[in-house]
């Protein structure tokens, strides 16, 4: 199968960990071990988040005031190269002799997207409430709650197309494991004369992954996160893990807009556009997720929603 795997930020930096290069590399090494096993039997296109990393670059950027701050699109390109380099190297160490390529790709957005008026995309490290409010006042940031913490938020317009998708296809067809659309891709708009220009935003990684999977004609989209499966009544005594669901079935449920909601929307979008299945689950279960034994599948090969039995839940928790 041709599979687009989207790694969440937890694959590189677990919540609360310091933004140290050595810590990120160790987490990426662990992720590479798992991805390499899937890549032995499937054609893999890999994408990833960059929220903590682009936020860190923005902080470093602001600390040096001898030059004007670099815009978010440039910082996004920097993170795609940095993270791609680490992933490429660690994957090669797991798959000696493999063809692995990192591409900094551009994602076309609509400059009139209403998201520019309502920032929602989390970037950078987490803060306590007082520190977040102080930074918001000092740097004119927008800040929102992220669980028990607070983080900076920036505009997140919808992705319209991936500029370099044909080159990604060619590399993949040549047998390369391609790492691309990092952080949702570098957001750009098209001017009246057809030229491209970067915009001050961060595109949602999962929505771009769904678009990438669609444009690549992938069989599956697998979104890796820090939960074993999508849950109904998450955190409540009657919490249940979803095993498989149709697009219609999953669409009848409500999920938080700031966390699971975009992932569900991305999966549903891919399946509606003809993908065989999309899945959400833990990185370390990815082999079982691909076979439908773990995680949550969204597919029109089933009707309604099925849940894991309690004994099965334990296997994927």
The per-residue pLDDT of the chain, averaged, comes to: 90
Q: Which of 263, 275, 281, 295 is catalytic?
A: 263
Residue-level pLDDT at 258: 63
Cross-strand bridge partners of residue 307: 242
Which of 185, 205, 244, 281 does the annotation list as catalytic?
205
Percent of the chain with pLDDT over 70: 97
Give the residues across from 198 on adjacent strands: 188
How does pLDDT run across 80-132, given as a tens digit for each residue? 999 999 999 999 999 999 999 999 999 999 989 999 989 988 877 788 999 99
Say which of 27, 50, 55, 121 is annotated catalytic.
121
Strand 43-48 to strand 161-162: parallel, antiparallel, or no bridges (unpaired)?
unpaired
pLDDT value of position 13: 77
9 is catalytic: yes
Is 27 annotated in the active site? no
For this structure, is 205 an active site residue? Answer: yes
Is 10 a catalytic site residue? yes
pLDDT at position 10 is 65
Listed in order, strand segments (DSSP E) in 109-154 are 121-127, 142-146, 149-154
Local structure of 198: helix, strand or coil: strand
Give pTM, 2 decimals.
0.88
Domain range summary for the chain, segments of one domain joined by +: 2-111+158-316
Spell out the residues 6+ positions from residue 230 whose beta carbon is closer than 8 angstroms to its own. Answer: 241, 242, 250, 255, 260, 263, 264, 280, 296
Q: Which residues of the chain have pLDDT under 50?
A: 312-317
Q: Which CATH class is domain 2-111+158-316?
A: alpha beta
User: Which value, in Å, is the radius of gyration of the alpha carbons in the chain?
Assistant: 19
């Amino acid at each position: 199968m041709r599979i687009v795997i989207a790694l969440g930020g937890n694959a590189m930096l677990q919540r609360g960990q310091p933004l140290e290069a050595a810590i990120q590399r160790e987490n990426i090494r662990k992720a590479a071990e798992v991805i390499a096993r899937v890549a032995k039997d499937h054609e893999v296109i890999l994408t990833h988040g960059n929220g903590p990393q682009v936020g860190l670059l923005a902080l470093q950027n602001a600390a040096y005031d001898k030059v004007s701050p670099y815009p978010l699109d440039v910082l996004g390109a920097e993170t795609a190269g940095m993270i791609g380099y680490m992933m490429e190297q660690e994957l090669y160490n797991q798959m000696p002799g493999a063809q692995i390529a990192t591409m900094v790709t551009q994602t076309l957005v609509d400059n009139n997207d209403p998201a520019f008026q309502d920032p929602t995309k989390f970037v950078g490290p987490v803060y306590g409430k007082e520190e977040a409010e102080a930074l918001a006042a000092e740097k004119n940031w927008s800040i929102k709650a992220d669980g028990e913490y607070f983080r900076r938020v920036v505009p997140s317009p919808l992705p319209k197309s991936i500029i370099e998708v044909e080159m990604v296809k060619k590399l993949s067809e040549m047998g390369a494991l391609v790492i691309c659309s990092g952080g949702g891709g570098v957001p750009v708009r098209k001017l009246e004369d057809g030229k491209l220009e970067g915009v001050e935003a961060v595109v949602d990684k999962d929505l771009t992954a769904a678009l990438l999977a669609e444009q690549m004609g992938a069989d599956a989209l697998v979104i890796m996160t820090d939960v074993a499966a999508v849950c109904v009544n998450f955190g409540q005594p009657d919490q249940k893990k979803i095993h498989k669901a149709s697009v219609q079935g999953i669409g009848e449920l409500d999920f938080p807009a700031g966390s699971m909601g975009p992932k569900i929307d991305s999966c549903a979008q891919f399946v509606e556009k003809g993908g065989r299945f999309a899945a959400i689950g833990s990185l370390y279960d990815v082999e079982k997720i691909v076979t439908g034994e773990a995680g949550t599948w969204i597919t029109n090969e089933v009707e309604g929603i099925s849940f894991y039995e309690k004994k099965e839940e334990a296997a994927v928790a």
